[in-house]
């Protein structure tokens, strides 16, 4: 009986390790610096349509919004736009939109 529990525990741990490796591969993080001095980190997960930002020392979750060209996320007074050409802008704290680049 003890042997069966040990085998079951080993199989469970192996399965958890494999699924954890898949989840880690399905995420993307990028650090950006903008023309107005703003710096932020954005995370995307394969299974989620939202964008997860760390901006001004605070975590913010942005919902994906409809747009004509590219991708736009917004929420909590922040708008992140990623154009089809890769141009990225962020607008927050009632400031004008600033162009950002990956660092």
Q: What is the pLDDT of residues 40-81, one digit of tens each?
A: 999 999 999 999 999 989 999 999 999 988 999 999 999 999
Residues whose CB is less than 8 angstroms from the CB of residue 89 and which lie 6 or more positions away in sequence, other chains included: 34, 80, 81, 83, 97, 98, 99, 100
Q: How far apart are CA 54 and CA 31, in angstroms?
A: 9
pLDDT at position 4: 39
Whether residue 36 has pLDDT greater than 90: yes
State yes or no: pLDDT of 101 exceeds 50: yes
CB 100 within 8 A of CB 46: no
pLDDT of residue 2: 44
pLDDT at 32: 97
How far apart are the C-alpha atoms of 100 and 12, rounded to whole Å? 44
What distance in Å separates the CA atoms of residue 91 and residue 89, rounded to the nearest whole number? 7
pLDDT > 80? residue 99: yes
Q: What is the largest CA-CA distance in the chain?
A: 67
CATH of domain 27-102: 2.40.128
Mean pLDDT of the chain: 82
Task: Identify the pLDDT of residue 24.
Answer: 52
Domain boundaries, the chain: 27-102
The pLDDT tens digits for 13-24 are 434 444 444 445
């Amino acid at each position: 009986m003890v042997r069966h529990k040990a085998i079951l525990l080993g199989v469970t741990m192996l399965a958890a390790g494999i699924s954890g490796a898949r989840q880690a591969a399905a995420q993307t993080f990028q650090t950006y610096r903008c023309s107005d001095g703003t710096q932020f980190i954005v995370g995307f997960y394969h299974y989620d349509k939202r964008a997860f930002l760390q901006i001004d020392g605070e975590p913010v979750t942005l919902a994906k919004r409809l747009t004509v060209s590219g991708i736009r996320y917004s929420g909590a007074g922040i708008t992140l736009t990623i154009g089809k050409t890769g141009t990225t802008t962020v607008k927050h704290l009632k400031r004008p939109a600033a162009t950002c680049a990956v660092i």
